[in-house]
Amino acid sequence: MSPQPGKPALLRTLNDRRALELLFAHGPLTRGRIGELSGLSKPTATQVVQRLEALGLVGPVARVSGGRGPDAVAYGLVADGNVGVAIDARAHRLAAVVIDVLGTELAHVEASRTVDGPVPAGAAGTGGPEELAALVDRACEAAGAARRDVRLAVIGVSAAVDEAGDTLRFAEDFPRWPVGGVRRRLVDALACDVVLDNDVKLAAVAERDHGVARDAKSFSILWMGQGVGLATDLAGEVVRGSDGAAGEIGYLRTPAATEADDPVEPPTFHHLLSASAVLELGRRCGISPGAGTGTDDALAEALADDRVVETLARRVAECAAPVLAVLDPEMLVLAGPVAVRGGDRLAARVDELVSVSSPWRARVAPTGLPSGAVLEGARVALLRRLRAGALERAGTLD
C-alpha cells in the first residue's frame, strides 16, 4: 500500500512547530536562515513566519546585514504575555523568579515565612496558598510584568504531591494549606495554571539539566537539609510512584546495625542525616556553635571535624544501600545544605565506603548546584512548559 499524502493542515502545523523549535535553540533568525535550518523553501519559510507572527508568537527583533543586498529581518520569540513564575516554598522561606518564554529572568524575590500550626476554622489571615499570591504579586511588580500575563506557576514544596488525587502528604511545613484540593486552591489564589511538585524531584530536574548528573544514564539524588528525601532519574524521567511519595525515605527506620552502633531517637533516616542530626552529632563531638550562628555556618563548623564527616559518611552509605540495591543508579548525588557543607570530602568518603561495603558501583558525587537547586528545577520545568504551550498554539491559525 502506498503511503497516504500528508494533510496540508498537519504539514503547516509541523512546519510552524519546527520553526519555533529552531528559535528556541538558536535565538532570532531570518526567514532565509529558518529555511536553511529546517529544509523548507524560502516561500514556505516566509509563510511559516507570517502565521507565527499572526498568532503573536514571533516578531521582528533586528535587521541583519545581507552584504551587498538589502538587510534581512531577524525574527524572535515574543515574550510579552508569555510569562511564568517559578517558586520554591519551604518551611521558613519563599523564593520566586519570573521568566519569559525566552528564558530571561525578569525578577527574583524572596520572603520569610513562619510555620506556627494550623489556622482555626474560619480564621482570617495569611499562610495558606494566599501567601504565594502575595509573593507572585511582588514578583510581577519587580519584573514590570502585568499580573494577567502570568500563564503558569511551577511550585516546589517540601511534601509529597499526589497529582491525581490533588493532595499533599508529609506536608508538615504547610499546616495552613489544604490537604485535599490543593492545586485547585492554588489556581484560584494565583489566577493562573499551576504545576505543584516535590522539592527534591525538582532539584533532580535541575541536576539533570545543568548539574553534575547531566550526562548520567541514571542517578539518585539524596537530599540532606531540614528534611531528608530522595529522587531518582531514570533516563531523564523522575520516578514519582503511585501517589507521588516515591523517595520519602526520611521516614524509614534506620538499619539495625546502625541503631546498635550509632543510636538516634527516634531511629529514622531523618534523625541520622538531616541538618539537625548533623548539628547534634557535632555536639556529641564537643562542637557547640556560638549564639547567633546561622545553620549553614554551624553545619560548616561541624563538618570541618573529621569525626563528624566519618560518622556521617557511614550513615549515608548505610542508608543508601537499599537505594543502590533496588535501583542500581549510575550516580548517587549528595545534595542539600548538609551535602553542600560536606562538599567533596564527604562525597569522596561515602564513595569509598560504598565501594568496599557493597557490590554496587554507583559513583558518589556532590551536587553541581550548591545553591538554589529547587528553584532552578522549578525554573527549568517552567521554561519547558511555557515553550510547550507556544508549540501547542503553533498551527492553530486556519
Return the pLDDT at 292: 67
Do 122 and 223 share a domain, yes or no? no
Residue 380 counted as domain residue:
yes
Residue 2 counted as domain residue:
no
> pTM for the full model?
0.89
Do 248 and 276 share a domain, yes or no? yes
Residue 41 counted as domain residue:
yes
**Integer angstrom CA distances of residue 90 from 26, 198, 282, 375:** 36, 11, 25, 11
Do 92 and 169 share a domain, yes or no? yes
Residue 207 counted as domain residue:
no
Residue 395 counted as domain residue:
no
Return the pLDDT at 67: 55
Do 155 and 70 share a domain, yes or no? no
Domain end, chosen from 23, 50, 78, is at 78
What is the domain-level CATH number for residue 159?
A: 3.30.420.40
Return the pLDDT at 257: 80
Do 109 and 70 share a domain, yes or no? no
Return the pLDDT at 372: 93
Domain residue limits at 266: 214-368
Tens-digit pLDDT string for the chain (398 aa): 444 444 688 888 999 999 999 999 999 999 999 999 999 999 999 999 999 999 999 999 887 765 555 668 999 999 887 899 999 998 889 999 999 999 999 999 999 886 654 333 333 335 688 899 999 999 999 999 999 999 999 999 999 999 999 999 999 899 889 889 999 999 999 999 999 999 999 999 999 999 999 999 999 999 999 999 999 999 999 999 999 999 999 999 998 888 888 888 899 999 999 999 999 999 999 998 776 678 899 999 999 999 999 999 999 999 999 999 999 999 999 999 999 999 999 999 999 999 998 888 899 999 999 999 999 999 999 999 999 999 998 877 66
Do 13 and 104 share a domain, yes or no? no
Do 52 and 109 share a domain, yes or no? no
Do 270 and 195 share a domain, yes or no? no
Half-sphere exposure of 125 (CA within 13 A, CB side): 13
Do 339 and 227 share a domain, yes or no? yes
Residue 242 counted as domain residue:
yes
Residue 175 counted as domain residue:
yes
**Integer angstrom CA distances of residue 163 from 137, 252, 275:** 25, 23, 29
Query: How many separate domains does the chain show?
Result: 3
Residue 283 counted as domain residue:
yes
What is the domain-level CATH number for residue 58?
A: 1.10.10.10
Do 188 and 234 share a domain, yes or no? no
Return the pLDDT at 274: 96
Give me the residue label for grid cell 480564621. 123
Return the pLDDT at 119: 38
Domain end, chosen from 54, 78, 102, is at 78
Return the pLDDT at 69: 53
**% helix / strand / coil in the chain, to the nearest 5?**
45, 20, 35
Q: Grid coordinates representing 24?
A: 528556541
Do 218 and 361 share a domain, yes or no? yes
Do 123 and 164 share a domain, yes or no? yes
Return the pLDDT at 5: 45
